Amino acid sequence: MSNERRQADKWLALRRRMVDEQIRRRGVGDPRLLDAMMAVPREKFIPSHVRAAAYDDRALPVAHGQTISQPFIVAYMTEKLSVTPDARVLEIGTGTGYQTAILAALAKHVFTVERIAHLQQQAAARLADLNVSNITMSCGDGSLGLLEHAPYDRIMVTAAAPSVPGHLADQLVDGGVLVIPVGGSAEQTIVRVVRQGQRTTETPLLACRFVKLIGQEGWPIEKQSR
By CB under 6 A, name the one of 71, 114, 152, 177 that touches ligand SAH. 114
User: Among 22, 143, 171, 188, which residue interacts with ligand SAH (rule: CB under 6 A)?
Assistant: 143
In angstroms, give the least distance from the CB of 49 to ligand SAH. 16
DSSP state of 219: B
The yes or no reply on residue 113 touching ligand SAH (CB under 6 A) is yes
Separation CA 147–CA 168 (nearest Å):
9
Measured in whole angstroms, how far is the alpha carbon of residue 18 from the centre of its chain?
17
Q: Which 192-221 positions form the footprint of ligand SAH (CB under 6 A)?
A: 211, 213-215, 218
Among 37, 80, 93, 127, binds ligand SAH (CB under 6 A): 93
Residue 158 found at the interface with ligand SAH (CB under 6 A): yes
- Name the residue nearer to ligand SAH (CB basis): 6 or 49: 49
Which residues are CB-contacts of 113 (< 8 A; sequence separation ≥ 6)? Answer: 90, 91, 92, 93, 94, 137, 138, 139, 140, 141, 142, 146
Q: What ranges in 19-176 are assigned the alpha helix state H?
A: 31-39, 71-81, 98-106, 117-129, 166-170
Sign of the Cα pseudo-torsion (183, 187, 189, 190, in order):
positive
Residue selected from 22, 78, 99, 171 as contacting ligand SAH according to rule CB under 6 A: 99
Q: Does 119 bind ligand SAH (CB under 6 A)?
A: yes
Distance of closest approach, residue 45 Cβ to ligand SAH, in angstroms:
6
Amino acid of residue 211: V
Is-catalytic flag, 69?
yes
Span 170-189, contacts to ligand SAH by CB under 6 A: none
3-state secondary structure of 112: strand
Q: Which one of 71, 142, 145, 181 is in contact with ligand SAH (CB under 6 A)?
A: 142
Q: How many CB atoms lie within 10 A of CB 135?
A: 22
Phi, psi of 217, deg, nearest 5: -110, 20
Q: Tell me, what amino acid is at 55?
A: Y
Assign 67 to helix, strand or coil. Answer: strand
Residue among 69, 133, 138, 185 flagged as catalytic: 69
Please count the residues of the chain: 226
Give the residue numbers annotated as catalytic, written as ranges: 69
- Kindly list the residues in this chain that would bind ligand SAH in the complex (CB under 6 A): 66-69, 92-93, 95-96, 98-99, 113-116, 119, 141-143, 158-159, 211, 213-215, 218
